[in-house]
Structure 1
Amino acid sequence: MTNRFNNKVVVVTGGSSGIGLAAATAFSAEGAHVYITGRRQEALDAAVKQIGGRVVAVRGDMADLADIDRLYETVRKEHSRIDVLFANAGGGEIVPLGEITEVHYQRTFDTNVKGVLFTVQKALPLLQDGASVILTGSTAGITGTPAFSVYGATKAAVRSFARNWILDLKDRHIRVNAISPGVTDTAGLDELFGGGESAQGTRDYLAGLIPAGRIGRPDEIARAVLFLASEDASFVNGVELFADGGQAQI
């Protein structure tokens, strides 16, 4: 580990599990002051213990604008700035066309699109000029996946945000990039596939579609996130970086 983020202020939404937790842990290990969010207090408490270092957990749903305000008020009181924002909170469900409900549509778009939009917009007064913003996209945003069309549409929207926001923020030299993971070994993946033997069979099938021959690990995605956030990526702006073992490239 290096000290690339020593004394930097980093916000990771959806930081209590999976990719968000791995990224928050990596940022902390490199010296950052880290703020994480999540909807379940018990998961946040466990994440704080795992991450260690200088980490603060703020319970909240990023689809709720009042919760976003509470997050940034906490940051403002303690540091008055943000150097890195990883807008990672999101989720999805398997629902085929013909069974999509308004509730499913609204929940998915509120979490993945509305939440990302206002997480970034409301951070603007705190974001340092020259800050780095990373949005979590997905390979589902550019590839077809059965029964996953609503989720895929939200991630395509997130990728579009990055392209447009680099123009809105160019005078402040704030970089905005998207990280698009492929199939990654997280608790959310188990929830998506329902657990048990059927879920394992689905994992094995998906691994067979990936040129790397396996699904990804959260720490592998986290390392790509830290690259995008770092000075090593100082001339990387508006890109969609796929961390997917090659799945979306064939």
Structure 2
Amino acid sequence: MERLSNQVVVVVGGRSGIGLAVAKLAHAEGASVTILGRSLTKLEQAKDLIGQNVRAIATDTMDEKAVNRVFAEIGTFNHLFISAQEASTAPLSETTIEKLRPTLDSKIWGAFHVVKHSISQIRADGSITFISGLAGHRGYPGLAVAGAANAGIEAVARNLAVELAPIRVQYSLCWCR
């Protein structure tokens, strides 16, 4: 059964990990899939793992103007899945803002850029799904900033669910460390 037949799914961070798995599943369920990421070379490799007729577009979610251009190019779609982030960790004794800031920036501001510039393209019966992580719920050495980013994206999802209704906005908790 192809539950996503005639639907378009955009996966931000679709070249590896959870994003790649979501893109594969959406494609297997009949969706037209577009994957976004920073490296076109890696996206092209991911396309081969997903299947035929997958679109790959390179963009950096921290470049708001580029994100705006990409979503204007994509056009109307049904579902948005955001798993992209630049993950960096460090124990407190080795922590610097320069080392850890990309984690917060990519997880929160990158997601904001994506939603801000895609919301006019998402169908009213569509959805936005953010990925959160276990570090936002329990402590791990060296993951204080990652935990803050994950707890933050959950708050973003809850608030945008109210603001963007009837579009369904949710987060999915990854039970991996």
What is the DSSP-based 3-state SS (H/G/I as helix, E as strand, rest coil) of the residue aligned with 2:66? helix
Q: 1:177 aligns with which of 137, 161, 170?
A: 170
- What is the Cα deviation at residue 168 of structure 1? 0.4
Q: 2:96 aligns with which of 85, 89, 101?
A: 101
TM-score calculated relative to the size of structure 2? 0.94
* AA at the equivalent of 1:163: R
1:69-148 paired onto structure 2 within 5 Å: 69-76=68-75, 81-148=76-143
User: Structure 2 CA distance, aligned partners of 1:180 and 1:67?
Assistant: 28
* AA at the equivalent of 2:101: Q
Percent sequence identity over aligned pairs: 33
Contact kept, 8 Å, 2:88 with 2:100, in 1: the verdict is: no
User: Structure 2 CA distance, aligned partners of 1:132 and 1:53?
Assistant: 24
User: Structure 1 CA distance, aligned partners of 2:40 and 2:118?
Assistant: 23
Number of positions where the alignment pairs a residue of Structure 1 with one of Structure 2: 177
- Structure 1 runs (4+) deviating above 4 angstroms are none
5+ residue gaps, structure 1, are: 185-250
- What is the Cα deviation at residue 28 of structure 1? 0.8
Contact kept, 8 Å, 1:32 with 1:54, in 2: the verdict is: no
- What is the Cα deviation at residue 9 of structure 1? 1.0
Contact kept, 8 Å, 1:137 with 1:179, in 2: the verdict is: yes
* AA at the equivalent of 1:49: D
1:182-197 paired onto structure 2 within 5 Å: 182-183=175-176
TM-score calculated relative to the size of structure 1? 0.68
More strand by share: 2
Contact kept, 8 Å, 2:19 with 2:82, in 1: the verdict is: no
5+ residue gaps, structure 2, are: none
